[in-house]
């Protein structure tokens, strides 16, 4: 199982790590990223989720994943892009757009302006 660091609702890391899926306090959050990859034509890259996923099987989605122990959101974008799409970005290509809070999770929305052929 994945180990994840916990954060407060202000995006400050709490010095506590749990196994993903463990119960957390109401003030604690784990972080997930969603990354929109946009090419020079303004097209957004989407992918179809696996039927083996726990949630939203077979739905269309953007690049995303959980920020695991010791990682930050920019590193997570690169890990997920490499695993899911075979792409690699540098930090200048990745921009933070916004974040919002949900119970138990803090979603970070990222943007990459990538010239895809």
Euclidean distance between CA atoms 97 and 90, whole angstroms: 16
Cβ-based burial of 108 (10 A; exposed 0-12, middle 13-18, buried ≥19): buried
pLDDT of the residue at 79: 94
Strand partners, 35: 63, 110
Which stretches of the chain drop beneath a pLDDT of 70? 113-117
Indicate the pairing of strand 94-102 with strand 13-19.
unpaired
Cβ-based burial of 37 (10 A; exposed 0-12, middle 13-18, buried ≥19): buried
pLDDT of the residue at 114: 60
pLDDT of the residue at 117: 44
| Phi, then psi, of 99 in degrees rounded to 5 | -140, 155
The token pair at 95 is 């921009």
Q: Looking up tokens 């916990």, which residue turns up?
A: 6
pLDDT of the residue at 52: 94
Asked if CATH classification 3.90.79.10 holds for the domain at 3-113, the reply, yes or no, is yes
| Phi, then psi, of 67 in degrees rounded to 5 | -80, 115
């Amino acid at each position: 199982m994945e180990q994840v660091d916990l954060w407060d609702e202000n995006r400050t890391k709490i010095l506590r790590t749990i196994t993903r899926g463990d119960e957390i306090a109401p003030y604690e959050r784990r972080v997930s990223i969603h990354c929109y990859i946009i090419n020079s034509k303004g097209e957004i890259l989407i992918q179809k989720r696996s039927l083996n996923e726990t949630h939203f099987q077979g739905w269309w989605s953007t690049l995303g994943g959980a920020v695991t122990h010791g990682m930050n959101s920019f590193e997570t974008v690169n890990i997920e892009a490499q695993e899911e799409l075979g792409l690699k970005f540098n930090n200048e290509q990745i921009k933070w757009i916004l974040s919002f809070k949900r119970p138990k999770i803090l979603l970070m929305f990222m943007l990459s302006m990538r010239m895809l052929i």
